[in-house]
Structure 1
Amino acid sequence: MKSLSIKNTAVSALYFIASMAILTGLWTLISIITKNEIPGPLSTWTIFKELASEPFYDRGPNDKGIGNQLFSSLSRVFSGFGLGSIIAIPMGLLMGSSKIGMRLLNPIVQILRPVSPLAWFPLGLLAFKAAEGATVFIIAITSLWPTLINTAFGVASIPQDHKNVGKAFGFSKWKYVVKIMLPYSIPHIITGLRLSIGVAWMVIVAGEMLSGGVGIGFFVWDSWNGLSLERILVAILIIGTVGLLLDKCFNALQTVFSWESK
């Protein structure tokens, strides 16, 4: 069993290396075709080493190391993601367990869900009087929908046999929620959270471009103003890598709570 696990890990690692080789090859080809107007991997790697040599320096409001920029963005992302989840999960439980709740709330969800984060930003500024609060607000309001929808779907798909067991044992509403509703819907909730954290991480870049200050989105915008495409590409790679790691963490959590893994 252990040897099989090692073999699967090695195969996954080889596929990942092959995938990165393809990406690097395409990147190099594009750089050659554009006559290095889009910097290639080598020049970008040089800039990355410079940024990584002192990632946490702080020389003022608009001059911080890439590490400070990244952790500032992650702080906003988890704040907005957490706030959105606190709203989404109870709403999803209500919509999934009640036909009245579904009929009342579903039209609101379908109207608000497609709205761009850029459209929410002015309202966030008006409500919180500060760019920091507005950024967290747009992350929360745009990332909560996948969690809400998946939670509602998970609760609505509870088999009737499970509900009958609760009735047979005379479960109170609270005991039904704790013993049947939540255990059955947790895999769906985690799937929603996995999708939501991806949305939150995408939205942070747009939010910080608008709000300025500090963060990986501001770093991209500041690099563009400084005409440093290498720094922009470094930021893109960092954004993608962090997004991959966040997805892997939630995928592992999803596997733990998956009914198929029991």
Structure 2
Amino acid sequence: MNANVKLAPPAATTPAADAAPSRLSRIGTRLQQILLQDLLPPLVILLLLGLFWELLCSGAGAALPPPSQVLSDTWELIIDPFYDNGGNDVGLAWQLLASLQRVALGYLLAVAAGVALGVLIGQSDWAMRGLDPLFQVLRTVPPLAWLPLSLAGFQDSHPSAIFVIFITAIWPIIINTSVGIRNIPQDYRNVAQVLQLNAWEYFRTIMLPAAAPYIFTGLRIGVGLSWLAIIAAEMLIGGVGIGFFIWDAWNASRISDIILALIYIGIVGFCLDRLVAFVGQRITRGIPAA
């Protein structure tokens, strides 16, 4: 062998080559954790509940249909949620969208008014003494008790439903916002005085970030109550909406349609809560509760 021939050193592994398998491994591990810890337990529980429901309601004298019958009875509603035959005869997707539109309008009005009133009560002792007893009384009134009054005032079912949403959602927003404002640490207020912040700067840089965890707690409670209230209100006011769909199905003895609508209502309510929680986490990230 020629003594002058030298063996080439082994090729060094580049950082990029190592990073790709490592990143894929982390993604695979994370997906496995999500499957085993987050998805599998509720799926197992749902399967067990479905089997129990099927066994319980499969007898001849059962008052409610089993899941297999619900699926067969509502299959057309499931596969075609966007049909529109005119009037109130529309698919479940349109029913849900009509309800969500009312909830969105009433809820956004409640957010604007509730945060403003919560800030006022949290900042002013006089407003706290004057308004808090009134709010504590009004918030105990059931939402549907406002419906006849709103119908008499607006003379229209659509704004009346929006008012019911507004009056339902506003109380937890006011209460949690005022608590958050009152729990702003004194050190934050002292910094604002040292920096001589004006009212808008203090509100934007001190007040809102410090009270944001409390505010979003109220927003999550409010959106859940809004979704509950609109379903009940639509049963009374009629028209297009998932609440009226349930009432109409009851009058026609379509129990399977009611069960399907309840499943959709629960899924939408869960998504609304998670949406507000996600926005709150993004905004309050890194901000500890006062």
TM-score of the alignment, normalized to the shorter chain, above 0.5: yes
Conserved 8 A contact 2:82-2:91: yes
- Aligned partners of 2:136 and 2:29: how far apart in 1? 45
**Residue 39 of structure 1 aligns to a residue in which SS?**
coil
Tell me the TM-score normalised to structure 1 length: 0.93
Q: CA RMSD in A?
A: 1.9
More divergent stretch after superposition (197-206 vs 5-14): 5-14
Q: Which structure: greater helix fraction? A: 1
> 2:146 is matched with which residue: 93, 100, 120?
120
> Does 2:94 align with 1:94?
no
> Does 2:70 align with 1:44?
yes
1:175-214 alignment, distance < 5 Å: 175-214=201-240
> 1:255 is matched with which residue: 250, 256, 281?
281
Tell me the percent identity: 38
The alpha-carbon deviation at position 2 of structure 1 amounts to 4.6
Q: Structure 1: which amino acid aligns with 2:131? A: L
Conserved 8 A contact 1:96-1:153: yes
- Aligned partners of 1:4 and 1:158: how far apart in 2? 40
- Aligned partners of 1:62 and 1:259: how far apart in 2? 44
Unaligned runs of 5+ residues in structure 1 are none
The alpha-carbon deviation at position 33 of structure 1 amounts to 6.9
The alpha-carbon deviation at position 259 of structure 1 amounts to 4.9
Number of residue equivalences: 262
Match of 1:83 in 2: 109
- Aligned partners of 1:25 and 1:65: how far apart in 2? 28
Match of 1:105 in 2: 131
- Aligned partners of 1:65 and 1:42: how far apart in 2? 21
> Does 2:166 align with 1:140?
yes
Conserved 8 A contact 1:187-1:259: no
Distance 1:255 1:8, change over 3 A: farther
Match of 1:18 in 2: 44
Match of 1:231 in 2: 257
Distance 1:116 1:57, change over 3 A: same
- Aligned partners of 2:78 and 2:64: how far apart in 1? 21
Q: Structure 2: which amino acid aligns with 1:6? A: L
The alpha-carbon deviation at position 167 of structure 1 amounts to 0.7
- Aligned partners of 1:258 and 1:15: how far apart in 2? 29
Conserved 8 A contact 2:209-2:284: no
- Aligned partners of 1:232 and 1:86: how far apart in 2? 34
Determine which structure has more spread, i.e. the larger CA radius of gyration: 2
Match of 1:174 in 2: 200
Tell me the TM-score normalised to structure 2 length: 0.85
Describe the superposition over 1:11-47 as per-residue Cα deviations: whole angstroms up to 9, x where unpaired: 1111221232243244335424783311111111223
Unaligned runs of 5+ residues in structure 2 are 1-25
- Aligned partners of 1:47 and 1:32: how far apart in 2? 15
- Aligned partners of 1:39 and 1:224: how far apart in 2? 14
- Aligned partners of 1:121 and 1:87: how far apart in 2? 20
Distance 1:255 1:19, change over 3 A: farther
The alpha-carbon deviation at position 5 of structure 1 amounts to 3.8
